[in-house]
Chains A and B, each alone.
Chain A
Amino acid sequence: MRIGKAFTATIATVVGVALLAAGCGGGDGEEAADGKVTLTIKTFGQFGYEDLIKTYESSHPGIQVKQENIAKLADYTPKLQQWLTAGSGAGDVVALEEGILIKLMGKPDQFVNLLDQGAGELKGNFLDWKWQQALTPDGKKLVGLGTDIGAQGMCYRTDLFAKAGLPTDRAKVGALWPTWDGYLATGKKFVAAGTDASFFDTAGGVYQNILMQQGDQTYFDRSNKLIADSNPGVRAAWDQSVAMIGAGLSGKLQMWSPAWNAGFKKGTFATIPCPAWMLGIIKDQAGPENAGKWDVARVPGEGAVRGGSFLAVPAQSKHPKEAAELAKFLTSPAGQIGAFKAKNNFPSAPKAIDDPAVSGAVDTYFNNAPVGKIFGQSAKTLKPVYLGPDNQVVGDGIGDALTAVEQGKLQPDQAWTKAMNDAKRAVDK
């Protein structure tokens, strides 16, 4: 029995160990022997900063930049929290995803005030709402500078559309769905044609899309009170998604699962709402042999945003001044254009959006789709949406409820009630 106890004692306390282990990972931001300042930038996913960093290093001979990337946001966030709690390991510049930034705005003292580093004059560089998101309510502290925004289009398979007797030209495809009702009607036609493919991958993605077009708040009002069950926009997005599941449009695939990944190549679904950052994923998953089969049209409804990120300087950085300069460079219109060229990360700087390099961008993989123009229009019609600190946990619950409806485990009304109860429970703890 003694073995058993010691065993469990160690494993049951994974949390504590993990928190502690972070404390041993210091040593970032040391000055190198040759007098160079080494700045560490932490990113997740694909920020497309490799070339920009080289440019920055060559124009700033005293600075060396080390990028440390973690592929998955879900793996990055807990590590970020460990670095912040431990007071070391976060490096000099950290990438913050929108949802995390909103949570961290509750305790902005973990980050350097960028207004103190001369960032105030850059306000005009960013879309107003992007700037406001990282500013404390009193307007005195700026936590982060915006990088990309998830301006959205609707990606579709031309070969499947042709098979179903639908138009394949992106302007005509876009004209099929001025609204989500139009999208539903098109989906019904597609399913009736019997191509063996589903119309979209999963209702979760479509729901998220519709939701973000339903006004300036979703689950929480600006005083962070839970309004999910009383906000008609949430219910409207839910009902619309449920209607689509009922019409058999969903492929019921779990996002990021092997079947979902393989679906891009095999063509198991015909459309997918695609934020700018998803183009890279489609290219990787569908592979070169499917070049030209995917195309991009406008998204139903009035533009949409899904995701987006910021760069911030943790208060623990030993070189806050140099770090702030690096963050300013990477988020400048020129930096954002570079990131767009590298990884299709859509800029949050109006100047960058209007730059020919972005607005004139076409993507050869997607039949030379004018992606710059499509996403640019989407970004401009985009209305800012307030999310609230517990946005993610409520959203996850509703996403799971939709999956349960897809699986036929719950009736839509039961699922809605469950999601609302889960949301209340998650919020008042």
Chain B
Amino acid sequence: MLFALFGLFPLIYTAWVSLRAWDLTGDAGFVGLRNYSRLAGDPDFWNAMVNTLGLFVLSTVPQLCFALVIAGLLNRPIRALMMFRLGVLAPIVTSVAAVAIVFGQLYGRDTGLVNGAIGLAGIGPIDWQASKTSSWIAVASMVNWRWTGYNALIYLAAIQAIPRDLYEAAQIDGAGAIRQFRSITVPLIRPALIFTVVMSAIGGMQLFTEPLLFGQGDVSGGSLRQFQTIAMYMFEQSFQNFDYGYGSAIAWAIFLLTVVVGVANALIARRWKGGTQ
């Protein structure tokens, strides 16, 4: 019942709106699939799609690798363990708007800290918003900073569920720390790995706040849409150009894309499972 009310109904309602011409002056009637055919030929939409996928790769891969390494380190007996474990969680309890504002300052063109630092190394100031590469790096660094600790804790929990005697046996066989990590830890926390990949994929497809605030609230994501994600494009069409029908069509495209990415993930995960067992 709850799912029908809060999940299914908006989904169907959006689908219905996406088949209509609906702008600021109201509903102008049924237009069939015209919003979707327009979408297929819209270079701005495909640009946003490329940006979304690019940002997804740039933010997910380093994020999960770092998380794994951090989890491995946190599983060792070190001083002030609790403090470190809580410390990695700090970014996730920070408001995303605050994160974006701080990073926006760091990547400022004229007085930003990052430009100051690379200036010391003799590299001229970069206008981070101006090019695709630099803006993607900046946005991805925000996402990475925010979510690495969260994933690390999920991995840590999975690692601690691994029976100790496996490690002891490996130690007797002469396996070093790195070998143990690769041959015992990683295979045994595979469910956690799959879970984080799927969650990151969903988050990545819906990336919105970080790039929006990086561009100082400019929903077109840079002068040439350098870092506009599909979620931002949906927002631009719906709430800046007030083209609700078209905005809803984009929303459905995001939904379908997420399903496709999710299914692809599941297939890869199943294959991976089959391959090692």
Taking Cβ atoms with an 8 Å cutoff, the residues of A that contact B are 1, 4-17, 19-20, 74, 77-78, 81, 85, 100, 103-104, 106-107, 110, 252, 254, 256-259, 268, 392-393, 396, 400-401, 403-404, 406-410, 425-426, 429
Question: 14 more A-B contacts (CB under 8 A) besides A8-B254, A392-B241, A409-B224?
Answer: A4-B202, A4-B262, A8-B255, A10-B7, A11-B206, A13-B10, A13-B11, A13-B14, A15-B251, A16-B9, A16-B17, A259-B109, A259-B110, A408-B130
Contact partners of A404 in chain B: CB under 8 A: 223-224
Contact partners of B205 in chain A: CB under 8 A: 8
Q: List 12 A-B residue pairs with CB atoms under 8 Å apart, sorted by A's residue number.
A: A1-B198, A1-B262, A8-B202, A9-B255, A12-B206, A12-B254, A256-B217, A258-B216, A259-B110, A392-B240, A392-B241, A404-B224
Asked whether any CB of chain A lies closer than 8 Å to the CB of B127, the reply is: yes
Taking Cβ atoms with an 8 Å cutoff, the residues of B that contact A are 3, 6-11, 13-14, 17, 24-26, 38, 42, 101, 104-105, 108-111, 127, 129-131, 198, 202, 205-206, 216-218, 220, 223-224, 234, 238-244, 246-248, 251-252, 254-255, 258-259, 262-263, 266
* A103-B24, A429-B246 known; A14-B202 Cβ under 8 A: no
Task: Choose among B7, B38, B108, B109 the residue that contacts A9 (Cβ–Cβ < 8 A).
Answer: B7
Contact partners of B110 in chain A: CB under 8 A: 259, 268
Q: How far is the CB of A312 from chain B (nearest CB, A)?
A: 14
Task: Choose among B109, B202, B244, B263 the residue that contacts A7 (Cβ–Cβ < 8 A).
Answer: B202
Contact partners of B129 in chain A: CB under 8 A: 407
* A16-B14, A409-B224 known; A8-B242 Cβ under 8 A: no
* A14-B251, A259-B110 known; A393-B104 Cβ under 8 A: no
A74 to B240 CA separation, bound complex (whole angstroms) = 8
Q: In the complex, which residue of chain A has the Cβ closest to the Cβ of B42?
A: A425
Contact partners of A19 in chain B: CB under 8 A: 13, 17, 244
Q: How far is the CB of B161 from chain A (nearest CB, A)?
A: 21
9 cross-chain pairs, A with B, having the tightest CB-CB distances, nearest first: A403-B223, A107-B25, A13-B10, A12-B255, A404-B223, A407-B130, A257-B216, A16-B10, A16-B14
Contact partners of B248 in chain A: CB under 8 A: 15-16
For the complex, would chain A's binding face be called helix, strand, loop or mixed by DSSP majority?
helix
* A15-B234, A107-B25 known; A6-B17 Cβ under 8 A: no
A254 to B216 CA separation, bound complex (whole angstroms) = 8
Contact partners of A406 in chain B: CB under 8 A: 223
Task: Choose among A4, A258, A429 the residue that contacts B104 (Cβ–Cβ < 8 A).
Answer: A258
Contact partners of B105 in chain A: CB under 8 A: 258
Contact partners of B238 in chain A: CB under 8 A: 15, 78
Q: How far is the CB of A310 from chain B (nearest CB, A)?
A: 15
- Once A and B bind, how many residue pairs between them come within 8 Å at the CB atom? 135
A6 to B6 CA separation, bound complex (whole angstroms) = 10
Contact partners of A15 in chain B: CB under 8 A: 14, 17, 234, 238, 244, 247-248, 251
A419 to B73 CA separation, bound complex (whole angstroms) = 52
A362 to B255 CA separation, bound complex (whole angstroms) = 57
A74 to B241 CA separation, bound complex (whole angstroms) = 11
A256 to B10 CA separation, bound complex (whole angstroms) = 34
Contact partners of B17 in chain A: CB under 8 A: 15-16, 19
A408 to B124 CA separation, bound complex (whole angstroms) = 15
A106 to B217 CA separation, bound complex (whole angstroms) = 29
* A1-B266, A4-B262 known; A13-B251 Cβ under 8 A: yes
Q: How far is the CB of B194 from chain A (nearest CB, A)?
A: 11
Q: How far is the CB of B129 from chain A (nearest CB, A)?
A: 8
A6 to B216 CA separation, bound complex (whole angstroms) = 31
Contact partners of B243 in chain A: CB under 8 A: 429
Q: In the complex, are the beta carbons of B26 and A85 less than 8 A apart?
A: yes
Q: In the complex, which residue of chain B has the Cβ closest to the Cβ of A257?
A: B216
Contact partners of A392 in chain B: CB under 8 A: 240-241
Q: In the complex, are the beta carbons of A401 and B130 less than 8 A apart?
A: no
Contact partners of A256 in chain B: CB under 8 A: 216-217
Q: In the complex, are the beta carbons of A8 and B206 less than 8 A apart?
A: yes
Q: In the complex, which residue of chain B has the Cβ closest to the Cβ of A422?
A: B44
Q: In the complex, are the beta carbons of B11 and A259 less than 8 A apart?
A: no
Q: How far is the CB of B36 from chain A (nearest CB, A)?
A: 13
Q: How far is the CB of B145 from chain A (nearest CB, A)?
A: 20
A11 to B229 CA separation, bound complex (whole angstroms) = 15
Q: In the complex, are the beta carbons of B218 and A254 less than 8 A apart?
A: yes
Task: Choose among B6, B111, B206, B242 the residue that contacts A259 (Cβ–Cβ < 8 A).
Answer: B111
Contact partners of B251 in chain A: CB under 8 A: 12-16
Task: Choose among B14, B239, B259 the residue that contacts A78 (Cβ–Cβ < 8 A).
Answer: B239
A12 to B18 CA separation, bound complex (whole angstroms) = 12
Chain A CB within 10 Å, residue with most, of B101, B243, B248: B248
Q: How far is the CB of A14 from chain B (nearest CB, A)?
A: 7
Q: In the complex, are the beta carbons of B223 and A8 less than 8 A apart?
A: no
Q: In the complex, which residue of chain A has the Cβ closest to the Cβ of B24?
A: A103
Contact partners of A13 in chain B: CB under 8 A: 10-11, 13-14, 251, 255
Chain B CB within 10 Å, residue with most, of A78, A106, A406, A407: A407
Q: In the complex, are the beta carbons of B255 and A409 less than 8 A apart?
A: no
Q: In the complex, which residue of chain B has the Cβ closest to the Cβ of A399?
A: B223
A252 to B128 CA separation, bound complex (whole angstroms) = 13
